C-alpha cells in the first residue's frame, strides 16, 4: 500500500505541474496478467485523486468484468467522489460503449475500433473541461498481454496518448514495453499485493452475473426494473461480426471483406431468450450506433413467436428510447 501511495504522490506532482502550465495531466495505463490487482490499483489511484478534489477520468477496458457498467462493455466515468466499497462509483452518467463479448480476443477488430472511438470522445471532453484535463486518466486494461493482446495494449497507449504505464507483476511485459514505447512514456513496475487471490472460472462467471443483476436491481435491491412486451416490428436487432467464408468458396480473384465489424441483422427467435442487448438511443442509423455510446441495456426474458413479440426486462418503463438493439454473448436469467 505504501508503494501505491507513492505512485499517487508522484501523480499529484504531475497534476500540480499541469495546472501551473495549463497542460494535460498524467494519463496512466495499468497493465498486467489476470488476477494481479489491476482493478484494485485503479480504484485506489482514482479514490486518492478524488479526495483531493481532482476529477480524474476512470477508463475501464476490461470487458470480462465491467467495472463501470456490465460485462461485455467498455466505458469511462469522470470521478468526482471516491469509490464506495459497497455501492461502487457514485451514480453519474458514464460513457458506455457496446462490445458484446467476454474477452477482447472474441472480436479483436471491434475491440480496437471501439477503443479508438472512446479515446476520441474522452479527448474531446478533456478539451472542454480543464479540471478533468489536468486530473488526467486512469486506464484499467484486461489481463490479455501476449501476442495480439500485447498489440492491443500498444494501441491503447497510443490512442489515449498515455505517458505513464504501470506494469504489475510481469517482468517480461515491462521489458517489452520499455523496448517498444516512445521515450516520453514512463514505464513503472510494481509487485502485486499480497492480498490478491486467483479467481476460478466459476468465480468469474458468478461475478459477471452479479454485475448484470446489480445493473437492474441495485446492490441492495433498491431499484425496480420494468417488464413489458415489445413487438418484433418495433425494433431492429443486429449482431456485430459475420462468419468468414473459406477462400475456396469465393469467386476467383475476389477478396473477402473484413467481417468482424460487419453488422448482421438478426431474425427474432427463441435463441435470443435471456440475452443481454445494448440499447442504442435516438434515430441514428445502425452503422453509427456501433461506435457511439449506448443508452442502456435490456434482457429478453421471453420470446412469443405466435404473437411476434418479446418480453423484456428494462431499467426504465416503456417505450424504449430507440429502435436499434445490439446482441451480446452475455446472458442473464432473472431468477429471484
pLDDT of residue 336: 59
Residue range 209-251, pLDDT digits in tens: 999 999 999 988 899 999 999 999 999 999 998 665 555 555 5
Vertex 80, ends 155 and 297: CA angle to 5°? 65
Q: Which CATH number fits domain 224-244+254-331: 2.40.30.330, 3.30.565.10, 3.40.50.2300, 3.40.50.720?
A: 2.40.30.330
**pTM of this structure:** 0.92
Going by pLDDT thresholds of 50, 70 and 90, the confidence category of residue 87 is low
- Give me the count of residues in the chain: 336
The residues, any chain, with a CB within 8 Å of residue 269's CB and separated by 6 or more, are 303, 305
On whether the CB atoms of residues 239 and 266 are closer than 8 A, the answer is yes
- Residues 275-280 have a mean pLDDT of 96
- C-beta neighbour count of 188 within 10 angstroms: 15
Chain CA centroid to CA 218, Å: 19
User: What dotted CATH number matches 2-200?
Assistant: 3.40.50.300
Q: Where do the structural domains in the chain lie, given as residue ranges? A: 2-200, 224-244+254-331
**Percent of the chain whose pLDDT exceeds 70:** 91
Going by pLDDT thresholds of 50, 70 and 90, the confidence category of residue 334 is confident
Pick the range with the lowest mean pLDDT from 256-260, 299-303, 315-319, 325-329.
Answer: 256-260
Residue range 142-196, pLDDT digits in tens: 999 999 999 999 999 999 999 999 999 999 999 999 999 999 999 999 998 877 7
pLDDT of residue 150: 98
pLDDT of residue 81: 87
Vertex 109, ends 108 and 114: CA angle to 5°? 95
Chain CA centroid to CA 211, Å: 13
Residue range 90-117, pLDDT digits in tens: 667 899 999 999 999 999 999 999 999 9
C-alpha cell at 270: 427463441
State whether residue 13 is helix, strand or coil: helix
Look at residue 252 and tell me whether its pLDDT is greater than 70.
Answer: no
Indicate if the alpha-carbon torsion angle 213, 214, 215, 217 is positive or negative. positive
CA distances from 328 to 7, 38, 46, 212, 256 (A): 37, 25, 29, 13, 24
On whether the CB atoms of residues 276 and 330 are closer than 8 A, the answer is yes
What does DSSP assign to residue 251? Answer: P
On whether the CB atoms of residues 77 and 95 are closer than 8 A, the answer is yes
Look at residue 141 and tell me whether its pLDDT is greater than 90.
Answer: yes
Report, in angstroms and rounded to the nearest whole number, the Rg of the chain calculated over CA atoms: 21
Closest by Cα among 7, 312, 321 to 186: 7
Beta strands in the chain (DSSP E): 27-31, 57-60, 73-78, 95-98, 137-140, 164-168, 186-190, 226-231, 236-240, 263-265, 275-280, 296-304, 309-314, 324-331
- Residues 43-67 have a mean pLDDT of 95
| Average pLDDT for the chain | 91
Going by pLDDT thresholds of 50, 70 and 90, the confidence category of residue 201 is confident
pLDDT of residue 244: 59
Closest by Cα among 284, 282, 283, 285 to 295: 282
Look at residue 283 and tell me whether its pLDDT is greater than 80.
Answer: no
Return the higher-pLDDT residue of 29 and 196. 29
pLDDT of residue 276: 98
C-alpha cell at 231: 413487438
Pick the range with the lowest mean pLDDT from 18-32, 160-174, 259-273.
Answer: 259-273
- Residues 311-333 have a mean pLDDT of 95
- Residues 23-31 have a mean pLDDT of 98
- C-beta neighbour count of 91 within 10 angstroms: 8
Pick the range with the lowest mean pLDDT from 19-33, 74-88, 126-140.
Answer: 74-88
pLDDT of residue 254: 52
| Alpha carbons 44 and 69: distance in angstroms, whole number | 19
On whether the CB atoms of residues 321 and 275 are closer than 8 A, the answer is no
pLDDT of residue 261: 87
Amino acid at each position: 500500500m505504501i508503494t501505491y501511495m507513492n505512485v499517487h504522490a508522484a501523480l499529484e506532482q504531475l497534476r500540480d505541474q499541469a495546472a501551473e502550465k495549463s497542460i494535460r495531466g498524467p494519463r496512466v495505463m495499468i497493465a498486467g496478467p489476470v488476477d494481479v490487482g489491476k482493478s484494485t490499483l485503479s480504484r485506489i489511484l482514482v479514490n486518492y485523486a478524488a479526495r483531493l478534489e481532482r476529477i480524474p477520468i476512470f477508463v475501464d477496458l476490461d470487458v470480462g468484468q465491467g467495472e463501470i457498467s456490465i460485462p461485455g462493455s467498455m466505458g469511462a466515468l469522470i470521478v468526482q467522489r471516491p469509490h464506495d466499497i459497497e455501492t461502487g462509483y457514485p451514480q453519474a452518467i458514464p460513457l458506455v460503449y457496446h462490445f458484446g463479448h467476454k474477452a477482447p480476443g472474441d472480436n479483436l477488430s471491434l475491440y480496437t475500433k471501439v477503443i479508438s472511438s472512446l479515446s476520441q470522445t474522452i479527448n474531446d471532453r478533456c478539451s472542454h473541461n480543464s479540471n478533468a484535463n489536468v486530473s488526467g486518466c486512469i486506464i484499467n486494461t484486461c489481463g490479455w498481454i501476449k501476442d495480439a493482446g500485447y498489440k492491443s495494449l500498444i494501441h491503447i497507449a497510443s490512442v489515449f496518448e498515455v505517458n505513464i504505464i504501470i506494469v504489475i507483476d510481469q517482468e517480461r511485459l515491462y521489458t517489452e514495453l520499455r523496448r517498444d514505447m516512445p521515450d516520453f512514456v514512463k514505464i513503472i513496475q510494481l509487485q502485486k499485493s499480497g492480498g490478491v487471490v486467483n479467481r476460478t472460472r466459476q468465480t468469474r462467471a458468478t461475478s459477471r452475473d452479479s454485475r448484470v443483476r446489480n445493473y437492474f436491481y441495485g446492490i441492495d435491491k433498491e431499484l425496480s426494473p420494468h417488464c413489458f412486451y415489445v413487438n418484433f416490428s418495433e425494433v431492429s436487432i443486429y449482431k456485430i461480426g459475420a462468419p468468414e467464408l473459406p477462400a475456396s468458396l469465393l469467386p476467383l480473384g475476389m477478396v473477402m471483406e473484413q467481417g468482424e465489424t460487419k453488422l448482421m441483422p438478426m431474425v427474432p427467435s427463441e435463441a435470443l431468450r435471456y440475452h443481454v442487448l445494448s440499447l442504442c438511443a435516438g434515430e441514428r442509423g445502425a452503422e453509427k450506433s456501433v461506435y457511439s455510446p449506448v443508452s442502456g441495456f435490456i434482457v429478453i426474458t421471453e420470446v412469443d413467436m405466435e404473437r411476434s413479440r418479446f418480453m423484456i426486462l428494462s431499467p426504465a418503463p416503456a417505450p424504449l428510447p430507440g429502435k436499434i438493439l445490439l446482441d451480446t454473448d452475455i446472458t442473464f436469467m432473472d431468477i429471484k
